[in-house]
Structure 1
Amino acid sequence: MSKCGCGSTKTIIMACSGASNVGQIANDAAKALDQLGQGSMFCGIGVGAQLSSFVNGAKEADVRVSIDGCKVACIRRTLEKAGITPELAIVVTDLGIEKKHDFDYPREQVAQVAGAVADALQSNCRL
Structure 2
Amino acid sequence: MVTRIREASARELSDLAKVSTPSHNLTNMTAPQMTHFHHAVNEATILTEPWTIILIRAFAKAAMILIHEANDFLEFGLTTPANTGHDFQESMRRAQDCVKGLWILGKKSDMARRSADTLVTAMKKLKV
TM beyond 0.5: no
Q: Say which one has the larger Rg.
A: 2
Query: 1 or 2, which has the higher strand percentage?
Result: 1
TM-score (norm 2): 0.29
